[in-house]
Structure 1
Amino acid sequence: MSFTIQSFVLVPWFLVLVVFAVVLAAGVQNSPEPAMFPAMFVFGDSLVDNGNNNRLDSLARSNYLPYGIDFDGGQPTGRFSNGKTIVDFIGELLGLPEIPAFMETVDGGVDILRGVNYASAAGGILEETGRHLGERFSMRRQVENFEKTLMEIKRTKESTVKEYMAKSLVVVSLGNNDYINNYLKPSLFLTSSIYDPTSFADLLLSNFTTHLLELYGKGFRKFVLAGIGPLGCIPDQLAARAALPGECVAAVNEMAELFNDRLKSLVDRLNSDNKTTGEGIFVYGNTYGAAVDILTNPFAYG
C-alpha cells in the first residue's frame, strides 16, 4: 500500500512472527550452532519497504515528514510508517542488525551478509501493478535483484553458501497492491474486466508460486508468507466506494479472503511436499485476522 501511516497494523502480525521464530529456534536447539537465523531477506510492498523507492522515479515514496517521526532521529527513512516496520522488529528479535535496502547495496560497501530488503512500495505480484505511480520493483524484479546479491554472497561464502541460504529467513509480503493499485482501479487497468475475483486470485497465486519457487530453487528453505489485509477497510477503498460510517467494503474484503485462502492452501501444499525431506518450512502470516482484530477490539491495543 502507499501513502498511509501503517504502524498500527503491524503489532499483531509481529506477534505472529515472534511465535514463528520461537518455533523454528526450538526446532534447531540440538544443532551444534546457535539457534539463530544468519540473515533475513525481505520481499514485499510499502508495508515493509525500508527505502528502496527513495532512489526510484516514483510517486510512491515516503522520504518526507511525517513519515519516520518516531524512528531513530525522528527523520524519514523511506519506510511507510511513523516508526519501525514489522521486519525491523523481527530483525531485532533475531539479533540481526538493521538490514539495508537493496538500493543501498548497488554501489557496494554495504554489509549484505545479514540480509537485504528488496521491498518496493506500489510493487505487486503482477508486472503492471502500480505502473500509474511510476517506477517500482515487482515481485519478479525483486527476485532478479536478489540474484545480484546472491552473486556477491557466493564470492564471500563460497564453501558455506548452501547452509547459509537454508538457515536464512525469508519474509514475503505482496498482493495488496495487485488489488488497490490494479484490480480495484478499473479506469486505469483492464484486469477487472478480464477476470472475476476468483480467477484473479488464481492468477495472482499462480504468478506468486512461480517466483516463490524460484527463491526456493536458489536455496532458501524458511519462509513467512504474509496474507493481504482487509483492504475494504482502508481509507482508499472507503472513500472510493462511499462506505457507510464505521463499515468496511464487504465485497473488497471478500476479494482479499479469496487470495488468502489460496495462499493458505499453497503453504499447506508446500509443507506437505517438503515433509519427507524436512528441508523446507513455510508459515502463513495472518495479516488479515490481525488487522480485523485491531478494528473490532481497538481498546485492547491502547
Structure 2
Amino acid sequence: MPVVPSCLLEPIWVEFEAAIGPDRQGYDPEHPLGCHRRAISSRVVFEHLVDALVHGSGYERIASTACSDSTIRRRLKKWAEAVVAQHVHAMALAAYDLIIGLELQDLSVDGCMTKAPCGGEKAGPSPVDRRRGGLKRSIATEARGIPVGIVSAGAKRHDSPLLEPTLTAAQHQSGLLPDQVTLHLDAGYDSQKTRDLLACRGFDGEISRRGIPAPIQAGRRWVVERTHSWMNGYGKLRRCTDKNSAVVDFYLYLAAAFVTVRQLIQQARKRYRWDTRPTTRRLR
C-alpha cells in the first residue's frame, strides 16, 4: 500500500518522469564485462524515496528485493544534482496557478528549525537543542499558504539574512511577482536591514514589532506557520540524516510539491468535478 494516496503520487510521478527522462533499456553497454544487471525502474526507486520522505527511515530499512539501498543512494544523488525536485515543484505551482490561482500579492516568510543529527553541509549547531546538529529552512508562502520558495541553512543562522535568498527562490520558482507585494514577517525580521531590502525590491512590509505579544499583531503570517506544520508531517524533514546539500534541498522541494498538489486537489474539489475526484476531504 502506498504511503501517500495515488491521487497525490501519480501527478508528482508524471512530472518527475518527464524531468528525469526515460529509463535505460537493457544492459549498460559501457560495462567492462558486459554482464551488468538491468537498471532498476525509476518508478520503483521513486516510490522508495517517497517512503523515505514520509517515514524518515534510513535507506537500509526501506530497501527491498526490488531495490537496494545503494541503488537508492546513487539514483537520489543523481536526481538531486539535476534539481529534479525543484522542477517538479515549479510545475506543481504552475498547475495551481492555472487552476486555482496563486495569490502572490501577499507573501509570508518564516524559518523553522529541525534536527540534523548526522551533520552535513547544511547542518549547524542548534541554539534550541543544546547545540546538537540542526537544520533551518526558510519558506516563503503566498496568501493561502502554498510554498513558493525554500532555502536551507544551518540551524544557527538567523531568519533575517535568509530573507533575500528566500525571496529570490520564490521569484525563481513561481515566475514574476506582482508589482504590488506585501510581505508579512514576524518580529525576528524587525530590523533596518530588512526594511532596506523591502524598499530595494519595492515591497510593502508588515513586520511585527519586538516587545509586543504575538497574538496582538499576528496579522496574516499565520499561513506560513501552518505550511511549516504541513511539511513537518514528513519524517525526512523532521529529522534529516543526509549530509549532501543537494539531497537536503531535494527532499525539501519534493515535500513542497506534495503540499502544493494536496492543496490543489482540496481547492479544486470545491470548484470542479472529475472522474477520479477523491471522496474524502482529508488526504493523508
Considering the TM-score relative to the shorter chain, is it more than 0.5?
A: no
Instruction: Give the number of the structure with larger relative contact order, counting CA–CA contacts within 8 Å between residues 6 or more apart.
Output: 2
TM-score by length of 1: 0.26
**Structure with more of its chain in strand, by fraction:** 2
> Which structure is larger by alpha-carbon Rg, 1 or 2?
2
Q: Give the TM-score taking structure 2 as reference length.
A: 0.27
